[in-house]
Amino acid sequence: MDSITQQHLPDPWLSDFFARPIIQVKADSQDYAQIQHLQTQGFQFVEGEIEFCFSLAEYQEKTTACQVATAEDIAELEVLFGQAFPTSRFREPWFSAAENQRFYRTWIARAVRGEFDQLCFVLKTASGQIQGGISLRLVGEQARIGLLAVSPVYQRQGIATILLQAAQNWAKLQRANSLLVSTQIGNLPAINAYLKQGAKMLSTSYWFYRK
């Protein structure tokens, strides 16, 4: 079985979560041969993705008020993250709005519990309201951001920058050499935030689904 054929198999975790076969392929945006092949196999273009890298070689830790989320934060985080990504690749017509919300609610809850992602940092107001959160995991010598969301009430107030600084602090403490994050090509606020913080673009790719 060749590598492209293997990619056409249903994704076990997603298929189990959504209770139906989920067949997806992530193709490098420059791999025109694979993209053409996917089109002949009935795959539909879903979303473009950019991967960014924060180099930690020269990074100096910055003090933030972020703290590690606990089980007591899960309910509030589920509300925030469940509503934060309505236009991600887990959207209609491939996934219902309810499925989208359930997916991200489950992801962030598992991150707080140390499952899949290893932890979640949150930034709170003086009264304890969560302003935003970011989940992280370590893979070898690289750290990766899973999810990042800021409450609509606190957007455009520098919350994302603080969360990114907390993420870089943690990654540096883990002795990672870099911090990776991916986002949709059309998510300009996230792209600008990453570039402003010094991230470099590593690659672009396309997601395809087949029903």
Residues with catalytic annotation?
Answer: 194
Q: Output b/e per residue, 190-205; b: 16+ Cβ within 10 A.
A: bbebbeebebeeeeeb
CA distance 43 to 207: 10
- Locate tokens 């054929």: which residue? 5
State the CB neighbour count (10 A cutoff) for residue 79: 15
Task: Report the relative pairing of strands 200-210 and 23-28 from DSSP bridges.
Answer: antiparallel
